[in-house]
Amino acid sequence: MNITFLIGNGFDLNLGLATAYSDFVKYYKETDAEKNVLIKFRQDISDNEAHWSAAEIEMGRYTGTFKTGQGEAFSECHTDFCKHLATYLKQQQDRIDYDYIAKQIEQAFANINTLAKLFPEQERSVIQSIYSRYESERTTFNFINFNYTDTLDKCIALIKSNQSVLGSHRSGSTIYNHRIGEVQHVHGTLESQMVFGVNDESQIAKPDIFECDYGDIYEASFIKKQANENYRENTDSKVYNILKGSQLIYIHGMSIGETDSLWWERICEWLAADPYHHLIMYKHSLPHLGLLGKDYLIGERKARNEIMDYSAYTNDQLKSIGPRIHVTGENLFGELNVVADKTKSPVEIFLDAADKAASSLNNGSTEFLEAYQTATK
């Protein structure tokens, strides 16, 4: 059984990192620029800062400020924005001390084996039936990361060193240990193959700016699917194949935005392809059931419609898809809430070094002096 997680910026925000575009543009507009086109770009962002909280779609609109054939000037703005974004996000991701939060990471990822617990009893039994259907198979957890940061990668690296936290299940006399499978950055990383842009040309306000030398390259680097194709690593097809091979998909920390509409269309197709396919969506803003539950039910329906609106199916077809979209307000990675900037205190460092020193003495090692010196710095 393949369970695939689509991870968005909500994962990093949950860690306590300031990784929203609204955070970044505050930083970006204060950075230095020499070229007039980049100075004007920063000023235009300052004048319309609220719009840039949805930076990719706003960048598509920003093409409307250029004249026909000025694709190179726009591309300079695009490149400059991405380079500074990479610098800023590196500073943010370095705020996590993974050794210090190792136990919390293990606790959080242990939860991915108990997704049914996120739901009320009736829906819980539906989710549990998916597991039962594949009880004679190993459970594999795949991750499709829509973030540029390495936070998820480092958490998974820690889990891979102790995959027992992912649990196991028995079928007959056979025990199946659960494991981490594929991990893919669909939009690249802070080091390479960054993809920042729109879903398609319809989201570019003035496509004729690319009627210039190398305009096809400038435009392709701004349309996500084409940008991935230009890197020639088959990222798009690899990720799509992971989705198609999944029995259960979980979306965490993602706004169902139009610049990623390709993926929402594909998920709707995936749901329609098999009546046993189920989708779970985490919506942090989903109200609690409360006394009457009306707000919860409205929020649940809105979330379902949010993704189904990207499909081209009839109402009758959507009726078969809707009940297989499960919405939760329970944070699967709640144990990792606001862990940024948390690290060991001097006392904790001392105690760790003292433990190491004691262990070294027991082993007849000469490492005691080194450990003592470390502890007393």
**Residue 196: pLDDT above 70?**
yes
Give me the numbers of helices (H) and strands (E) for the chain, helices first please: 16, 8
Q: Could you tell me which residue, 305 or 343, shows the higher pLDDT?
A: 305
pTM of the model: 0.90
**Residue 372: pLDDT above 90?**
no
What percentage of the chain exceeds 70 in pLDDT?
A: 91
In this prediction, residue 104 carries a pLDDT of 97
Helix (H, G, I), strand (E, B) or coil at 46: helix
The radius of gyration of the chain's CA atoms, rounded to the nearest angstrom, is: 24
Mean local confidence (pLDDT), 3-31: 98
In this prediction, residue 272 carries a pLDDT of 95
For helices 261-273 and 235-244, angle between their N-to-C axes, nearest 10 degrees: 30
Token pair, residue 88, equals: 């800023």
Q: Could you tell me which residue, 317 or 274, shows the higher pLDDT?
A: 274
Beta-carbon count within 10 A of 285 CB: 8
Mean local confidence (pLDDT), 258-273: 96
**Residue 376: pLDDT above 80?**
no
**Residue 18: pLDDT above 70?**
yes
What percentage of the chain exceeds 90 in pLDDT?
A: 87
Residues forming beta bridges with residue 372, ordered by sequence position = none
**Residue 239: pLDDT above 90?**
yes
Q: What are the helix (H) ranges across the chain?
A: 9-15, 21-28, 36-47, 55-62, 71-93, 102-110, 121-133, 151-160, 215-220, 224-231, 235-244, 261-273, 294-308, 315-321, 346-362, 368-375
In this prediction, residue 358 carries a pLDDT of 65
Mean local confidence (pLDDT), 357-372: 59
Mean local confidence (pLDDT), 71-99: 98
Across 161-182, b (16+ Cβ under 10 Å) vs e yields: eeeebbeebeeeeeebebebbb
In this prediction, residue 316 carries a pLDDT of 87
Element (H, E) at 169: strand 168-171
Please tell me the distance from the alpha carbon of residue 309 to that of residue 78, in angstroms, as a whole number.
29
**Residue 361: pLDDT above 70?**
no
pLDDT, averaged across the chain? 93
Return the percent helix, strand and coil in the chain, to nearest 5: 55, 10, 35
Residues forming beta bridges with residue 278, ordered by sequence position = 248
In this prediction, residue 73 carries a pLDDT of 98
**Residue 366: pLDDT above 60?**
no
For helices 21-28 and 36-47, angle between their N-to-C axes, nearest 10 degrees: 130
**Residue 349: pLDDT above 70?**
no
Reported as a single tens digit per residue, the pLDDT across 128-164 is: 999 999 999 999 999 999 999 999 999 999 999 999 9
**Residue 127: pLDDT above 80?**
yes
